[in-house]
Structure 1
């Protein structure tokens, strides 16, 4: 099978049917309308440092075989597999780190498809990955990119890319696993007494502060709910990072549009006190997992972040019968609340020979440290010892 490659600067240059053939997963973040809305609402553009440059591979019959989600980056924000030390090292040696090519879902540290291959061509995955790599290498040479990074991709794909000269990098997230719990109390019974008491105390603090919480699924959400959430999202980013956040008001308006179906599997959790809405958290889900994405609050309340982002998420995961809750990037404090360390993966192709060996050595040492950390973290989990 001969493949022909082209790069497009907009998701809209690809037929929605072809996109969904290649990205057939139920996960919302690689859905055509999610990626397209990021672009059309001004969140992901050349001006924001995320220039779309998606790779399309087609056969002689002009049938789309595979699509690779790609961006040309002029910074490293919104990626969550951090490379700032690498950028600093390049700068210190007078070598440009940007542009770089990144395959990722912007602002979304969730493992999922990056190389979308239509089901009928999966038997040729190795060949397709090889052809995609050659096309990306040619693009990198054309724009003088320092490297290509593929972030939060499934481990089998990271291993396959190693055969094409890529480096495989690991990091750790914290996920909660639903072991057929009937409700939150059932989950608590799986914990040792001290941790169970600690979580109950955190949740009781919410009640003592006069705070009530309510969860709304997609069909219950109104435009007002989304506008209220955006206000909290914007305020929290401004306080934490000095900007309005990566996602625009127009993006959240699109989430509220049922015709697009982006938020068809979403939930908003709101906290109320003295008749006012004081905080909110946003979740998405698919057939298997719940994804905690963003939250915001108008002021600091004791344990409110834990309640909205973790405990309400656990309750929702149980209610929906999902097997896993991915509460987002980082957060060692999640361990004592029942979230377990899991590996996530990235793949890298370094085009600067002076740094290729150094980065490979860095990744190897980093993985050894992570292995030790995960072993230690497992001993800190709050679950009762089996047997």
Structure 2
């Protein structure tokens, strides 16, 4: 057996960016630049309730594995909801927080969580993560949105598995948006055409710009829109403007701004993240309401871009069955959980069995409601 050396680091600043990125298969949101931007701009840290505690594995002083980890004092910004578990702990006189989370903060997208080229290293990382959880008397460990290989590692380590649903669009090698529409049932195709025409008739035009080519004023406008989305609900955005500027400066070529203007005046913006063959639909906002503007800015413009540039998938995120009729289909996503308290672990396991069956039925129901033609 290899003698890996494990360390916990509370900042990425002491890690070589190239070494970290060599382990994550080109995934943008687990890249050194993305995660470091969250730290350097104060979006994660002591005051945010996301304390970085990244696990690194070295062999002969060479980085061979890592896991982005955070000690959490709340459950905000995770998109896998465990508030009821926290409440049950509280009612039983137990502390649910702090807990340990393996995730990309504020980013519900599937990807690598055990960053390593070798399965043996991944298994060792998983065991070290659970040992850290126990040794530091944390209530629990949660891995959110792991890719399939990592999920199997967590299952082998004794974690409980949980399913949830997101809505993703898949590129079936469409030549253009027209061909994409032709694959849909007539009633759905007609509805999309009507929605798009309504936006055109409102004199709305779009600019699609790579983030590194967009000027700072465009980024400021995007952030104004993004912030407005939260403000109208009486809340504040998770992410500050400095974070987005870091993305522009460090990995701007992996971001895509879509800006909508009406009669020459900018009215809405969306920011997507480009990661390998996938577009991640992440942030959006509008300064005024225009019928159909949200669907056009967030979905149709992005799908057109994906077709034109050969992207295989567009992740539209969780929630909202309205995405189904726009061509985004329900897919199962996963998380893994380990709870230190035996009785609570058993209770949560029973709950997840029931919830998983319901999620399976829901997913099956979504499949029967596909907007696409069937043979």
Please, what TM-score do these two structures have when normalized by structure 1?
A: 0.93
The aligned runs of 1:1-387 (5 Å cut-off) are 1-23=2-24, 25-59=25-59, 61-117=60-116, 119=117, 122=118, 125=119, 127-243=120-236, 245-257=237-249, 260=250, 262-386=251-375
Partners of 1:32 and 1:58 in 2: how far apart? 17
Partners of 2:340 and 2:325 in 1: how far apart? 41
Structure 1 residue 274, shift from structure 2 partner: 2.8
For structure 1, list consecutive stretches of 5 or more residues without a partner in the other structure: none
Structure 1 residue 283, shift from structure 2 partner: 1.0
Partners of 2:296 and 2:182 in 1: how far apart? 18
247-256 or 375-384: bigger deviation: 247-256
Partners of 1:255 and 1:135 in 2: how far apart? 31
Partners of 1:272 and 1:36 in 2: how far apart? 33
Q: Is 1:263–1:284's contact at 8 Å kept on the other side of the alignment? A: no
Partners of 1:211 and 1:148 in 2: how far apart? 47
Q: Deviations over 1:117-136 (max 9, x none)?
A: 1x3xx1xx2x4344323332
Q: Deviations over 1:183-213 (max 9, x none)?
A: 1111110111111111111111112222222
Q: Deviations over 1:271-314 (max 9, x none)?
A: 11132111000112133111111001112221211111111111
Partners of 2:234 and 2:125 in 1: how far apart? 36
Partners of 1:133 and 1:294 in 2: how far apart? 31
SS at match of 1:327: strand
Partners of 1:129 and 1:241 in 2: how far apart? 42
Partners of 1:339 and 1:249 in 2: how far apart? 29
Q: Is 1:4–1:58's contact at 8 Å kept on the other side of the alignment? A: yes
**Count of residue correspondences:** 374
Partners of 1:69 and 1:75 in 2: how far apart? 17
Structure 1 residue 54, shift from structure 2 partner: 0.2
Structure 1 residue 241, shift from structure 2 partner: 5.0
Q: Is 1:227–1:252's contact at 8 Å kept on the other side of the alignment? A: no
Structure 1 residue 66, shift from structure 2 partner: 0.7
Structure 1 residue 219, shift from structure 2 partner: 4.6
Q: Is 1:159–1:168's contact at 8 Å kept on the other side of the alignment? A: no
Q: Is 2:65–2:122's contact at 8 Å kept on the other side of the alignment? A: no
Please, what TM-score do these two structures have when normalized by structure 2?
A: 0.96
Q: Is 2:123–2:153's contact at 8 Å kept on the other side of the alignment? A: no
Structure 1 residue 16, shift from structure 2 partner: 1.4
Structure 1 residue 175, shift from structure 2 partner: 0.7
